[in-house]
Amino acid sequence: MKISFLSLAAAALAVATAAPTKRQAADDKVIVGYWVPWGRVPVAALDMTKVTHINYGFGILIKKNPDPATITFDRYYDGTPMKELVKRGNASGVKILMSIGGWTGSQTFSSVVADTAARKRFINNALVFVRKNTLPEYAENPDGWGMHGLDIDWEYPGRGAAICNQVSPNDSANYLILLRELRAALDAEFPTDRKLLTAAVRVMPFDGTNGQPMTDVSAFHPYYDFINIMAYDIMGGWSATTGPNAPFDVVPGADPFSYNQSINSWLQAGWPKSKLVMGTAFYGRSMTATVDMVAASPRSIFAPKTNVTPKGGSSDSNEPNFFCNEGSVYSGMWKWKEVREAILTTSLTTPVAGWTRVWDEGTKTPWLFRQSDKTFISYDDPESLAIKVQKAKADGLRGVMYWDMTYDYNNELLNVLQQIKCTSNCPIPTPRPTTTTAVVPTSTTTVPVSTSTSPGVTPNPGKCTGVANWNIATVYANTNTKVVHAGHLFSNKWWTQGDEPSVTNAWGVWSDQGAC
Ligand SMILES: *[C@@H]1O[C@H](CO)[C@@H](O)[C@H](O)[C@H]1NC(C)=O
Ligand SMILES: *[C@@H]1O[C@H](CO)[C@@H](O)[C@H](O)[C@H]1NC(C)=O
Ligand SMILES: *[C@@H]1O[C@H](CO)[C@@H](O)[C@H](O)[C@H]1NC(C)=O
């Protein structure tokens, strides 16, 4: 995750199954949250019924340490919430993992994995997080933290990322050796109480010795329970134009990375669906455009911008990061709760005066624009998130992850993630506004937002021929499934069961395709 560590100033943060085609039961679906102490949401305030795994961010690898294999965390600052999380996790069945790395905490992974002795020291250090404490409860330095697994958040093997990172073309090959040794050490020490091993990864498979994403990463997956794709931080203050933080799909002529692309790229490189978890952003990124993006015709999410990132939400800071100084710059990040508290105060689609909300159909994400100073914010909301969750579900992936647990507003976004497990009465996302449109950058035609307020469509004999009647008990898992009900043809916008199609409910799951 392209995030800050402590300073808040960030620039950016199983064993192989023998049953290859076995479908994941809904119970196996995971909802993974990252929790960070500097987000200032107490562990006691977390709703443990809505997640299956919590990754504690972070234990870090920094060059300041004499031994590159030392995993740094603060026994007081981190230790208290780590203990609280384990306690709450044990009581509620939520798995707690120590996440090692992060944007500024991945500095020495490269030299650790390259050296046999350093790997051994790293593994010994990492195992302390999953060991049971054998010292008295009041001991200041427990010899174990009782966690349920480890999450490796190396950003990124073979691709430096933060300026403080060591990097080598051999990173991914060496990482594989570490994984094999780490998995073996976990299994040797915990033969019955199996410990989890997961990772956070970027939108492309690990980079190979040629500096390009590997075309086959199947050797890696046996060691992980699952990996979480960070399908965000795709465009931001560092980009050449304004654009989406976390696009659902790629748009011709723009940045080639997206949620959809990352799924395809990992699956094509031999990754199993059952071990693929899709990361979502509970935050937006702001940039300063040089044109009035709302007045522009046609409107586009891609516009020229200045190279200075504006201050984001109220918590954004331009203090240099304590662990890796990448400059005194703002991240431009807006937590979802900051967007809700300052801009979308009364409605998900109608901002306060001065701002305009636009839905971008190309990337399937909303954006906000303030004309007075040309501030642009790309973000995710319940509607864009629902599209992503439905995709993960329709593709049979393992689940969803979010960054991070301290950004939400009254669980508004986390509630949408619940759809990954949902089998009936699933929460329905809120509608996009009908007043705005946006276009793809290289297209000459506008893509209007469908309003679907179209009762009284001319009957079209034959259009419903062969289409099954809607059934209250049927699960409609794939979007655009056609059904007939009350003399009309309908198609679903997302996963649904038990929702009756209606011509008057334009915002419901079923969109009216007209009379039969
Ligand atoms: C929590 O569960 C883990 C794994 O089963 C165990 O090692 C640890 O001691 C438990 N900790 C607490 C505080 O219950
Ligand atoms: C990468 O590994 C090869 C083979 O072990 C070795 O010869 C080479 O020196 C390594 N390169 C770097 C940059 O460490
Ligand atoms: C996602 O990617 C696939 C394969 O590249 C492509 O066919 C599809 O149109 C994309 N969009 C969606 C919404 O799946």
**Cα Rg of the chain (Å, integer):** 23
Cα–Cα distance list, 354 to 267, 302, 350, 373 (Å):
43, 20, 11, 10
Region class of 210: left (phi > 0), else alpha (psi between -120 and 50), else beta: alpha
pLDDT in tens, 45-70: 999 999 999 999 999 999 999 999 99
**Residue 202 DSSP label:** -
If you average pLDDT over residues 22-29, what whole number do you get?
64
Region class of 460: left (phi > 0), else alpha (psi between -120 and 50), else beta: beta
User: Which contiguous run of DSSP H or E holds residue 177?
Assistant: helix 171-189
pLDDT at 369 over 70: yes
pLDDT in tens, 212-249: 999 999 999 999 999 999 999 999 999 999 999 999 99
pLDDT at 455 over 80: no
State the distance from the centre of ligand 1 to the C-alpha of 99, rounded, in angstroms. Answer: 17
Query: Are the CB atoms for 195 and 130 separated by under 8 Å?
Result: yes
The pLDDT score that the predictor gives to residue 464 is 84
- CA pair distance 346, 215, nearest whole angstrom: 47
DSSP string across 99-121: EEEESSSBTTHHHHHT-HHHHHH
pLDDT at 145 over 70: yes
Q: Count CB neighbours of 207 within 10 A.
A: 19
User: What is the pTM for the complete model shown?
Assistant: 0.82
Does ligand 1 lie within 6 Å of residue 189's CB atom? no
Q: Which residues pair with 375 in a beta bridge?
A: 288, 370
- CA pair distance 288, 374, nearest whole angstrom: 6
pLDDT at 9 over 60: no
Look up residue 78 and give its two tokens: 């981190």
Mean pLDDT of all residues belonging to the chain: 88
pLDDT in tens, 477-495: 777 889 988 888 989 887 7
Does ligand 3 lie within 6 Å of residue 260's CB atom? yes
State the distance from the centre of ligand 2 to the C-alpha of 325, rounded, in angstroms. Answer: 29
Sign for the CA dihedral angle at 302, 303, 309, 315 comes to negative
Does ligand 1 lie within 6 Å of residue 10's CB atom? no
Cα–Cα distance list, 87 to 13, 43, 72, 196, 458 (Å):
26, 10, 22, 17, 61
If you average pLDDT over residues 88-92, what whole number do you get?
98
Place of tokens 């794709």: 229
Atom of ligand 3 lying closest to residue 249 CA: 11
Atom of ligand 3 lying closest to residue 260 CA: 1
Task: Indicate the top mutation candidate among 111, 170, 171, 207 to test ligand 2's pocket, ranked by most ligand atoms within 8 A of CB.
Answer: 170
Strands 333-335 and 482-485: unpaired
If you average pLDDT over residues 265-282, what whole number do you get?
98
Query: Are the CB atoms for 389 and 416 separated by under 8 Å?
Result: yes
